[in-house]
Amino acid sequence: MTVIQEALRLRQDKGLSQSECDRSIEHLTNTVLAGVLPPAPGCRAMVYRLFGIPNQEDKGSLAFIKGFWQMNRKLLSLILGLVAITGFLWLTRGNSPELIKVGLVASKTGGSALAGESIQRGLEIAIDEVNAAGGIKGKKLRLEVRDDEGNPSKGIAAVRQLIESEKVVAVFGGLHSPVSLAMMPVFQELQTPYIGTWAAATGITENDQKPNFMFRVSARDDFVDKFLVDHATNKIGATKPGIILENTPWGESNQVGLTKSLSERNIAPAGIERFNWGDTDMSPPLLRLRENGADCLIMIANAPEGAQVVRSLKKIQWEVPVVSHWGISGGRFSELAGEGADKVQFVQTYSFFGDQSVTGRRVIEAMKKKYGLSGPEDIASPVGTANAYDALHLLATALSQAQKPGGPELRNALENIKRYEGLIKTYEPPFSPTNHDALSSKDYILVSWKDGKIVPIKN
């Protein structure tokens, strides 16, 4: 077997990613070359252990190593082969002829880890379907995942590494709008499509970028804000809702949308209160809203802080209706909030409960088989799964139509998909040159927690 064949075997037969192959081959090559190049601390000892040489650390002279190699021509041949493999892998970095890589940058740890997990599962189920059907023009899809930890700077580093080193053709985004907004300049610079599957800040897709590489299969804040205000005023009957939201760009995005929607109804909010990530006592802002006469709360929060709002409501003994954006469904909200969690109503784009389409039933069965779930009740953060599933299939549709698998050609192909029959709905079309949001407020549903599960609210 030639060194070129060996490289391909590592990358394809073993299913290793480019970075995994690079690290393995380069580490071994650097270890073996420790005798002729200035070694890292302890590297020469690794060479001795690797080839069963008596420990000569005290002799570590260049003459000793050269003498040893002169007596071991096979070892020299191995080194040259390893160097050739490394060079080959370097020259063929990125997608192999048989693979197309896509990326995911999302929270996989911390308070929003469930959101990242649900998005990844939706992508994996869809990738399995695409690959089982023959892939994209005969090429298999592979997912590369990076954890942004909800940190914008880590998101920027992750997406740049995915595009520049792993050569992904597109990147799916996670829950946090601040991360997605921070990554936007990288997508524009490297001309790689972003497809949001959760982050809802209006400015992610509604921006001044031309051409715009930011797409989304998810809710959008200004649409959600109108939806929440409609529910609070028309269904609950609120005349003076109070707003409590996180002090981030996502919170700011929703403040603009909520105040605009309320003003269109000639309603002034009882107040607008903010909190920071990690705050554990929301009593002071809630007391101010109560004193100002709020008859309903509109909440913009992720799971950890949203749970603290509910716990603080109980602490100050305030019974008030709460309607919320969907950030609370991306973590352990029900567990953290306790018994008050069931009283919060919030927005979603899909539910796996109730009557399902053929696609819905197929996805549930695939989830049960792949992840050992019992049924819809075990699908945590279902909106992430549903959005990601449709987003991957829309990308696959664009890839099948694009002249090149990436860059401006892929962006243009996304804008020109005519129709796709998805899980959430039939997209006719999903995107256009003037609209990069595949979902609208017509696609939203209202849900609540029941026994720790997210279920639709009837009527």
pLDDT tens digits for range 15-26: 445 444 444 444
β-pair partners for 273:
244
- Tracing tokens 């991957």 back to the chain, one arrives at 392
- Asked whether this chain's domains 99-218+356-439 and 222-348 adopt the same fold, the reply is yes
Amino acid identity of residue 150, one-letter, is G
* pLDDT at residue number 111: 85
* pLDDT at residue number 369: 97
Phi, psi of 121 (to 5 degrees): -65, -40
Average pLDDT over residues 243-264: 96
Average pLDDT over residues 252-279: 97
Q: Which of these, 347, 305, 420, 332, lies nearest to 200 by C-alpha position? A: 347
Contact 75, 51 (CB under 8 A): yes
HSE of 143, CA atoms in CB hemisphere, 13 A? 24
Average pLDDT over residues 204-211: 96
Q: Rounded distance, CA 188 to CA 210, Å?
A: 9
Q: Rounded distance, CA 379 to CA 364, Å?
A: 9
Average pLDDT over residues 167-194: 97
Count Cβ atoms below 10 Å from residue 29 Cβ, excluding itself: 19
374: burial class by Cβ within 10 Å (0-12, 13-18, 19+)? exposed
Percent of the chain at pLDDT exceeding 70: 79
Spell out the long-range contacts of 64-67 with Cβ–Cβ below 8 A and sequence spacing 24 or more: 65/35, 65/36, 66/35, 66/36
Least confident of 58-67, 214-223, 270-279: 58-67
* pLDDT at residue number 459: 62
Contact 199, 253 (CB under 8 A): no
pLDDT above 90 (res 92): no
* DSSP per-residue string spanning 195-262: EESS---GGGTSSS-SS--EEESS--HHHHHHHHHHIIIIIS--SS-EEEEESSHHHHHHHHHHHHHH
Mean of per-residue pLDDT scores for the chain: 85
pLDDT above 60 (res 260): yes
Fold designation for 222-348: Rossmann fold (3.40.50)
How would residue 458 be classed by pLDDT, with cut points 50, 70 and 90? Answer: confident
* pLDDT at residue number 157: 98
Average pLDDT over residues 274-297: 97
HSE of 401, CA atoms in CB hemisphere, 13 A? 18
Average pLDDT over residues 453-458: 88
- Tracing tokens 């029959």 back to the chain, one arrives at 421
* pLDDT at residue number 72: 55
* pLDDT at residue number 79: 52
Phi-psi group of 437: left, alpha or beta (phi > 0 → left; psi -120 to 50 → alpha; rest → beta): beta
DSSP element (H, E) containing 385: helix 382-401
* pLDDT at residue number 77: 56
Digit-coded pLDDT (tens) for 306-317: 999 999 999 999
Percent of the chain at pLDDT exceeding 90: 75
* pLDDT at residue number 70: 54
pLDDT above 50 (res 121): yes
How would residue 118 be classed by pLDDT, with cut points 50, 70 and 90? Answer: very high
pLDDT above 90 (res 190): yes
Q: Which of 11-20, 55-64, 118-127 has the highest mean pLDDT?
A: 118-127
What's the residue count for the chain?
459
In CATH terms, the superfamily for domain 99-218+356-439 is Response regulator (3.40.50.2300)
Q: Residue ranges per domain, the chain?
A: 3-91, 99-218+356-439, 222-348
Structure tokens at 187: 């997508």
- Tracing tokens 């000793």 back to the chain, one arrives at 64
* pLDDT at residue number 66: 52
* Number of continuous H segments (helices) and E segments (strands) in the chain: 16, 14
Count Cβ atoms below 10 Å from residue 358 Cβ, excluding itself: 8
Would the CA dihedral through 85, 86, 92, 96 be positive or negative? positive
* pLDDT at residue number 7: 42
* pLDDT at residue number 331: 86
How would residue 451 be classed by pLDDT, with cut points 50, 70 and 90? Answer: confident
pLDDT above 80 (res 61): no
Q: Which of these, 253, 280, 215, lies nearest to 429 by C-alpha position? A: 215
